[in-house]
Amino acid sequence: MNLPLPAHTAAAPVLSNGNPAGRRRILKAGVALAAGALGVGCGKKETSGPPVNPGAGPGPGAGPGMEAANAGAGVQVESGKLWNLSELAPPPDWEKLEAWQETITADDFRYLLEKVLTDGTSFWSTVEQRPDRALIRMSTAVEASPRFELRFAKESKPNAAERYWRKMSEMPAPASAERPLEGVRVALDPGHIGGDWAKMEARWYQMESASPVMEGELTLETARMLRPLLEAMGAVVTLVRETHDPLTSQQPDKLLAEARESLHVSLGAAVLPTDRQIRKEAERLFYRTSEIRTRGHRVNEVLKPDVVVCLHYNAEAWGQDAGKPLFSKANHVHVLAHDCISPAEFQNDDQRWDGLMRLVQRIPDEEIRLCDAVARHLAAATGLPPYTYPGRNARQVNDNSYLWVRNLLANRVYHCPVVFTEPYVMNNQEIFDRLQAGNYEGIREIAGKQRFSIFREYAQGVADGLAEAYKAGRPT
Ligand SMILES: [Zn+2]
């Protein structure tokens, strides 16, 4: 089945939020065109986790570019907390923004902050925009927190030396049209973990005596299929995870204190959690938080790619018993870029910092171009309809019904463009049949249709999307 794809060309303006001519208009209209001008808003978000106080690390002290909000008032520490942080987040290093002084214009900053990074209502209590600078609250845990002062540029400057990733437009022209990814550093991040870990993560089900379906193993197999396709086009490919094992050394046994603290916040001080609750919470912090933060660290500090592709398989609710899963008639595909930070999330000091680090580097612009192309090619390769988010935690962008922005840990902490892919419903009957068929060469009939293996189909869609984006974005 070939679905009608949204009319769009790679050369069309990005970040238009559904209105190709919208950017200029929004820039001029400024605040009068706040939330609502873009259609779908994203004020509410699923979970950002309770704030935790690490009780260690440097406080929000003044440094270069950091201006005390109330000079002379000093820093008041409320209930011993210096930072308001997401789960297992290190305190933000605000000095890293120093390298971005006088690189972004006031108009660009306002547009990206209001229309892209957030829903337009999230930042007023933490970012004060003046004509020549923004004053950014460094901590929301401290009443008189120092402000980081980010000075604006008269004209936008790329400041490429201060980021590890390269824009498509900054790369040299490829030697031949057949190798559009020549020299592009691509990190493939197979989502989740495999083996016994998949059960703990609840990304595992088994239908009677058939092979168990484990998302973390499917994503690694997909990465292994994708790698040679990208390398054939000249890419330099690394895998963020090469085995079924986790990268983090913080396994659940090492996270019991953090689990107790997290439950203290979520259940309330009056409730004493059971050992089982503490264990479950420690497991969740291990696979959902520590593992992703560890991958973010590896990407930002070791691999330093031009783009990360986070590979996932979607699922619909399959019930409580993974041994007797419910099948869903639904089957769909979508691709996520970062952004759409909710007001509550923007109050977290680390999320505000991550978002602003991505903003000053102009990651959203590059990321949405890449995600847009991959979304259209994955839609064509799979023939699946788009997934539609029912809530306000995601926002559709770029006139592309397959492309959404959403604030996930796994795309926020990577300080480079991230293409986050979510095709196929694993507990759809046809997808189950295709997964049971495994990986194979050529075409086979499955569920009444001639098909490539699901891994090849997925990999080809991503590879074609990246090829199109880089062909359009690199110099010729
Ligand atoms: Zn996933």
pLDDT digits over 220-269, tens only?
999 999 999 999 999 999 999 999 999 999 999 999 999 999 999 999 98
Top-ranked range on mean pLDDT: pick from 9-23, 193-207, 291-305: 291-305
pLDDT mean across residues, the chain: 85
Res 11 pLDDT > 60: no
Q: Which residues contact 36 (CB under 8 A, 6 or more apart)?
A: none
What percent of the chain shows pLDDT beyond 90? 75
Q: What span, in angstroms and rounded, lies between the C-alpha atoms of 305 and 238?
A: 9
pLDDT of residue 119: 78
pLDDT of residue 161: 84
pLDDT of residue 258: 96
Query: Which conformational region is residue 147 in: left (phi greater than 0), alpha (psi within -120 to 50 degrees), or beta?
Result: beta
Res 8 pLDDT > 90: no
Helix (H) or strand (E) holding 189: strand 185-190
Cα(314) to ligand 1 centroid in Å equals 6
Cα(218) to ligand 1 centroid in Å equals 10
Res 344 pLDDT > 60: yes
pLDDT of residue 124: 79
Cα(418) to ligand 1 centroid in Å equals 15
Cα(291) to ligand 1 centroid in Å equals 13
Cα(193) to ligand 1 centroid in Å equals 10
Q: Which of 132, 157, 182 is the last residue of a domain?
A: 157
pLDDT of residue 48: 37
Select from 375, 377, 398, 415 the least CA-distant residue to 23. 398
Residue with structure tokens 């973010």? 296
Cα(311) to ligand 1 centroid in Å equals 7
Residues 189 and 279 in one domain: yes
Q: What span, in angstroms and rounded, lies between the C-alpha atoms of 195 and 286?
A: 15
Cα(423) to ligand 1 centroid in Å equals 10
Cα(316) to ligand 1 centroid in Å equals 11
For residues 116 and 168, the answer to whether their CB atoms sit within 8 Å is no
In a domain, 45, yes or no: no
**CATH number of the domain encompassing residue 371:** 3.40.630.40
Q: Which residues of 400-425 are buried (b: 16+ CB within 10 A; e: fewer)?
A: bbbbbbbbbbbbbbbbbbbbbbbbbb
Q: Which of 124, 157, 190 is the last residue of a domain?
A: 157
Cα(313) to ligand 1 centroid in Å equals 5
For residues 331 and 424, the answer to whether their CB atoms sit within 8 Å is yes
Residues 224 and 107 in one domain: no
Residues 331 and 356 in one domain: yes
CA atoms lying within 13 Å on the CB side of residue 18? 14
In a domain, 5, yes or no: no
**How many other CB atoms sit within 10 Å of the CB of residue 207?**
18
Going from the C-alpha of 476 to that of each of 18, 98, 118, 236, 466, the distances in angstroms are 29, 34, 35, 20, 16
Length of the chain: 476
Cα(476) to ligand 1 centroid in Å equals 36
Q: What's the number of domains the chain is made of?
A: 2
In a domain, 10, yes or no: no
Residues 186 and 152 in one domain: no
Cα(207) to ligand 1 centroid in Å equals 19
Residues 272 and 345 in one domain: yes
Residues 99 and 247 in one domain: no
In a domain, 28, yes or no: no
Cα(331) to ligand 1 centroid in Å equals 15
Residues with CB under 5 A from ligand 1 (ion): 191, 312
Q: What span, in angstroms and rounded, lies between the C-alpha atoms of 252 and 249?
A: 9
Residues 277 and 371 in one domain: yes
3-state secondary structure of 122: coil
Residues 138 and 186 in one domain: no
423: amino acid identity, one letter:
P
432-444, pLDDT tens digit by residue? 999 999 999 999 9
Residues 199 and 287 in one domain: yes
Q: Which residues of 319-330 are buried (b: 16+ CB within 10 A; e: fewer)?
A: eeebeebebbee
Residues 452 and 335 in one domain: yes
Res 336 pLDDT > 60: yes
What average pLDDT does the segment 412-416 reach?
98
Cα(135) to ligand 1 centroid in Å equals 37
Give the model's confidence band at 100: pLDDT under 50 very low, under 70 low, under 90 confident, else very high.
very high
237 strand-pairing partners: 186
Pairing of strands 403-406, 333-337: parallel
Q: Which of 157, 184, 219 is the last residue of a domain?
A: 157
Cα(371) to ligand 1 centroid in Å equals 17
Q: Which domain holds residue 238?
A: 168-473
In a domain, 31, yes or no: no
